[in-house]
């Protein structure tokens, strides 16, 4: 009986750990100090990228080929589902020195 209880406890721990890993894997870009910060790698179609603007001015996330064009107000969080595979250089239309590249693998 003691062994069964231990096994159940272990199973519960594993399930919790998997849930935590799934959350940690959600790709997020934090814009601060007029920069996009670290752009997540390993993205694929079907993922959702969360953009957070910690600056006091609005930013955009505008693909050079116009595959996407988000406006993120100060303090705002915007979620962007990835629908197309490819390499997408992007920039902020207000601050053109803000640049990054999203690389999205097929599903």
Instruction: Using alpha carbons only, give the angle 45, 103, 94 rounded to the nearest 5 degrees.
Output: 110
| Minimum separation from the CB atom of position 67 to Cu ion (A) | 18
Shorter beta-carbon distance to Cu ion: residue 23 or 56: 56
Going across the sheet that includes 77-81, the strands are 28-31, 48-53, 77-81
Residue with tokens 């107000």: 73
Report the half-sphere exposure of 28 (CA within 13 A, side-chain side): 11
Contact residues for Cu ion (CB under 5 A)?
Answer: 59, 92, 94-95, 98
Shorter beta-carbon distance to Cu ion: residue 11 or 32: 32
| Minimum separation from the CB atom of position 5 to Cu ion (A) | 55
| Minimum separation from the CB atom of position 59 to Cu ion (A) | 3
């Amino acid at each position: 009986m003691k062994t069964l209880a231990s096994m159940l406890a272990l199973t519960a721990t594993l399930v919790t750990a998997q849930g935590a890993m799934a959350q940690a894997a959600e790709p997020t870009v934090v814009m601060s100090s007029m920069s996009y910060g670290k752009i997540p790698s390993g993205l694929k179609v079907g993922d959702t990228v969360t953009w957070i603007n910690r600056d006091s001015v609005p930013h955009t996330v505008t693909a050079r080929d116009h595959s996407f064009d988000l406006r993120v107000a100060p303090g705002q969080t915007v979620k962007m589902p990835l629908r197309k595979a490819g390499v997408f250089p992007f920039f902020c239309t207000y601050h053109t020195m803000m640049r990054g590249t999203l690389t999205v693998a097929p599903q």
